[in-house]
Amino acid sequence: MPVHLQVKAALFAAGCICRLSEDFSWIILEVFRRLICSRTSEPQVIMAAIKAFSKLDCTLAVIHRVHEVFIDICLLLKDEIY
């Protein structure tokens, strides 16, 4: 099985587990941020990480942190996008 498919499967599983624990949501949020911002991540893996954000536990604190993380990601990647 190709590595990017294994990573996508692991991201999906991590997103599902986040529904069980807010603590795990905080941990996986940081993992997603690092994965998305990594210059070595493949585009398929980045998209899988972005899609997995929707599976994070939906407390207001987590949602606020996700918003902050995406602002940071957008600022970091704005030169590459435009």
Q: Give tens-digit pLDDT for 42-81.
A: 888 888 888 777 766 667 777 787 778 778 877 776 666 5
The ranges assigned to domains in the chain are 3-81
CB 66 within 8 A of CB 27: no
CA distances from 36 to 20, 21, 59 (A): 23, 22, 22
pLDDT of residue 62: 74
pLDDT of residue 17: 78
pLDDT of residue 37: 81
Q: Give tens-digit pLDDT for 1-47.
A: 677 788 778 877 887 777 777 778 788 888 888 888 888 888 888 88
